[in-house]
Amino acid sequence: MTSPGLPLPPARPRRIAFAGTPDDAVPALQALAGAGFEIPVVVTGEPRRRSRRGGDAPSPVAAAAAELDLPVGHDPADLAGCDADCAVVVAYGQLISLDLLAATPMLNLHFSLLPRWRGAAPVERALLAGDDRTGVSLMALEATLDTGPVYWRHEVPIGPADTAAELRNRLAQEGAQHLAGSLAGGVGTPQSQSGEPTYAHKLTPADRQIDWSQQAAFIDRQIRVGGAWTTLDGERFIIRVAAVQPGEAVAPPGTLVDDAVATGDGLVLLRTVQPAGRAALDAQDWLRGARLPSSTRFG
């Protein structure tokens, strides 16, 4: 059950407010609209600059709402002021106050198998930790972080080459379909979370910095999370795409070996790189132009 005093949605809500901001939330909004639910308001982040040259632009959810001809707001209070049966929250990016939770039942679509990976970066943390599966959970929203009772969990395997971006897209698409189907068919009664919780703190630059003495498999996961970096000649050097060749150490960690970099137990083969001040480019093209000596060290 939810915290004392917090309402639960009706078994089959028809009028559903929505809150979300990034691309990951768009499939859920589209699925609810496509299933015929009445959506009185879509609450999302304020317009902001999304490129260096452009002006302020609406959030991906705001753009999707406009295409669906749905009203858009930026105040969380709108979720409780539209006479909705409940609200669905997906990657909204702001905390919902307790008074709003008490006024309107709220459901949260969270991209993890709760209680594993509560928090801001569940997909990235699952991938970085080497989990072989993740998923989507629908829970009743509470004032505390991702602690609400769970209606259902949908499991998704993590493949050996999956990136965080690919996983998020898969979770968003599959979670959206399960969300719409469960609300249309009867959402049921949520059950309290069971198991040891883990916390998905937002990744820092230090989490993405490559330590070449680590195992190649871990460094590969850092790269698949996105934004993994090292240094070359004192400047930041990002590795966008790579492959792993595990085995024995063939050179000191961080040493360039042909088109690869030595790790603690093998090689990371460079595929797409981004030197400081440049756009991402094919690693072979970069190597031909850079003409680095064999003794070159990263990090």
Q: What is the CATH number of the domain that holds 150?
A: 3.40.50.170
Upper half-sphere CA count for residue 219 (Cβ side, 13 Å): 32
Q: Does 100 reside within a domain?
A: yes
Q: Does 5 reside within a domain?
A: no
Residue 32 has a pLDDT of: 98
Find, among 285, 207, 280, 273, the residue nearest to 243 by Cα. 273
Q: Do 240 and 265 share a structural domain?
A: yes
Q: How far is CA 194 from CA 146, 149, 198, 209, 291, in A?
A: 13, 9, 12, 34, 55
Q: Do 60 and 167 share a structural domain?
A: yes
Q: Do 234 and 193 share a structural domain?
A: no
Q: Do 269 and 148 share a structural domain?
A: no
Q: Do 178 and 52 share a structural domain?
A: yes
Distance CA 140, CA 123 (A): 20
Residues 6 or more apart whose CB falls under 8 angstroms from that of 154 comprise 135, 136, 137, 174, 175, 178
Q: Do 149 and 98 share a structural domain?
A: yes
Question: Which of these three, 175, 200, 225, is where a domain ends?
Answer: 200
Distance CA 18, CA 28 (A): 9
Residue 272 has a pLDDT of: 98
The answer to whether 139 and 151 have CB atoms below 8 angstroms apart is yes
Give me the residues of the chain with pLDDT under 50, please: none
Distance CA 270, CA 238 (A): 11
Strands 235-246 and 150-157: unpaired
The answer to whether 244 and 271 have CB atoms below 8 angstroms apart is no
Q: Do 105 and 58 share a structural domain?
A: yes
Task: Please report, for the domain that includes residue 269, its CATH number.
Answer: 3.10.25.10
Q: Do 227 and 192 share a structural domain?
A: no
Q: Which structural domain range is residue 274 located in?
A: 205-290
Residue 55 has a pLDDT of: 77
Give the chain's domain count. 2
Strands 48-49 and 106-110: unpaired
Residue 3 has a pLDDT of: 61
Q: Do 269 and 135 share a structural domain?
A: no
Assigned token pair, 166: 């690919």
Strands 86-90 and 16-20: parallel
Q: Do 221 and 160 share a structural domain?
A: no
pLDDT in tens, 225-255: 999 999 999 999 999 999 998 888 889 999 9
Q: Does 1 reside within a domain?
A: no
Q: Does 145 reside within a domain?
A: yes
**90 — phi, psi (to 5°)?**
-135, 110
Question: Which of these three, 200, 228, 260, is where a domain ends?
Answer: 200
The answer to whether 88 and 109 have CB atoms below 8 angstroms apart is yes
